[in-house]
Copies of this chain bind each other. A is one copy, B any other.
Amino acid sequence: MRSWLVSVSLVCAMAWPATADPEAWYPSKYGAGDTLGAFNELSPERVVAAAGLVKTGKTYRLGVETGRDTPAFGARSFELFAVAHGDGTGATLGANKGSFNDDWMLTWLGIGTQIDGLAHLGIDHVYYNGTPVQEFFQPTGVTKFGTHEFPPIVTRGVLLDVAGHRGVERVPGGEVITKAELQAIQKKQGTPVQAGDVVLLHTGWQALATEDPETFLSTEPGLDGPAATYLASLDVVAVGSDTWALDVLPGPNPEILFPAHQILLAKNGVYILENVQTAELARDGTAPFLFVLGVPRFVGAVQMVINPVAIR
């Protein structure tokens, strides 16, 4: 994550004219005290229906690697070390001569395939359901919205193959995936998105993560605000993509940064998945699938590295 790391130029220090949001975005439709957000859309009925989609039994590993070379935003870094048990003398354990290896890592949690919790992004320090950051931020981990509190995410998954729709291998960076395009793709694929779904966008962008990490990070195709609003209106559980930030970069309006993040996470409590490995799924078509994700339960985390599973 060294030489090719592109620090996205975030215009933090400038004073922006206050652009108040005319529409109140809280309390949440799930209730004033709700902290689950779109997880409220998960249900046993939807699980059963999704399990019914399994036909061939082929499984898809939707996680990419999180390693020392994985491109990452900003100052995020990853290190992992294996440790041979013992004092170096080669002594083993017991008459059965056990030897073993342990391991540890220092990692920022927004590297590789990840899920953004609702503590990740807000509007002027106010988060999902109008929750002020002071209510949950602690240096030792968040006390609300922590990813360790997530239920199992089991539901129907729909792949919207944007690249396929456009007849390209890779949607170019900076290309907006609009509401109209999302509607057209669903129609063409015959896979209308339903409430409770996890929607995954395939753009082909993820291949650049290894081929050209600088470009991978400095631009990408993605949603604009209205597209995000549209997806949220479908009552989906999560929106994911094979890009690192879901939002189109650069955005159409240079003064508006990461609007899809704000609309999904903060305004609607819809979860975001990034760096999803959609290539194999897309190669096999666009049939909806059983989506299963158990997020590792590290206490207090804002985001988490994940490896979801798709089953067809």
Contact = CB atoms under 8 A, between A and B. Distances in A.
Contacts of A12: 86-87, 91-93, 134
Interface in A77-125: 77-110, 112-113, 119-125
A51 B292 CA distance: 12
Which secondary structure dominates where chain A touches chain B? loop
A3 B108 CA distance: 21
Given A84-B137, A88-B101, A255-B95, A309 B294 contact: yes
Interface residues of A, number: 120
A294 B134 contact: no
A112 B301 contact: no
Contacts of A87: 12-13, 84, 125, 133-134, 137
Interface in A287-310: 290, 292-303, 305-309
A66 B124 contact: no
A3 B4 CA distance: 12
Given A88-B99, A106-B106, A301-B80, A308 B290 contact: no
The 9 closest A-B pairs by CB, nearest first: A90-B90, A84-B88, A44-B57, A67-B299, A47-B57, A94-B257, A294-B307, A51-B54, A48-B57
Given A47-B311, A66-B297, A75-B139, 7 more contacts: A43-B57, A52-B54, A74-B102, A75-B81, A92-B124, A96-B258, A96-B259
